[in-house]
Amino acid sequence: MAINIAIEISREFDLAASFDDVFELLADVPRSASHFPKLHNLEDLGGNAFRWEMEKIGVDKHALQTIYACKYFSDKDKGRIWWEPVKGEGNGVVKGSWSLTRNGDDRTHASFHTEAELSLPLPSLLKLAISPVVKHEFNSLVDVYTRNLQAAFQ
């Protein structure tokens, strides 16, 4: 028995760095992922595809772990980096994008958007209780990630 939880997150913020520097960091998946909190392991699957394994939450047999894989693409001329799910990897399906625009010589405006669907091995009766907790956790992770990126360019 499993429950599915859909999550959609969008953020916009400015970075105190040139467009080129921001694009270079975000298009380098391992480098960008190093700023993401609670990432247990990032595995290179080849072809610019990566498996994300988040830290386990809970204890022993009641621990949950989110695992998913994405293939990454980038177009510097359009200021866009995006990812699409790799099917058959883990318990999550994730897609999303970064859109970057120049804001002068030394500032970049970043728009982040991601959508995820997680399948968790829990009884369906728990969906109403667990869904808000999982959504809050993912929003918190993205908030820390964006703060970490901002700090990296200070």
Q: Where are the domains of the chain?
A: 3-152
The tens digit of pLDDT for each residue in 86-99 reads: 999 999 999 999 99
Instruction: Look at residue 109 in the predicted model and tell me its pLDDT.
Output: 97
Integer Cα distance of 105 and 120 in angstroms: 45
Contact 82, 72 (CB under 8 A): yes
Instruction: Look at residue 129 in the predicted model and tell me its pLDDT.
Output: 83
**Cα dist. 125→3, 6, 81, 129, 131 in Å?**
9, 16, 38, 8, 11
Instruction: Look at residue 58 in the predicted model and tell me its pLDDT.
Output: 66
Paired with 49 in beta bridges are 46, 71
CATH superfamily of 3-152: START domain (3.30.530.20)
Integer Cα distance of 40 and 143 in angstroms: 18
Instruction: Look at residue 133 in the predicted model and tell me its pLDDT.
Output: 86
Instruction: Look at residue 43 in the predicted model and tell me its pLDDT.
Output: 98
Instruction: Look at residue 153 in the predicted model and tell me its pLDDT.
Output: 93
Mean pLDDT, 10 residues at a time, the chain of 154 residues? 92 96 98 97 98 84 85 98 96 97 94 95 81 90 96 92
Q: Whole-model pTM?
A: 0.92
**Cα dist. 47→51, 53, 77, 86 in Å?**
12, 18, 21, 11
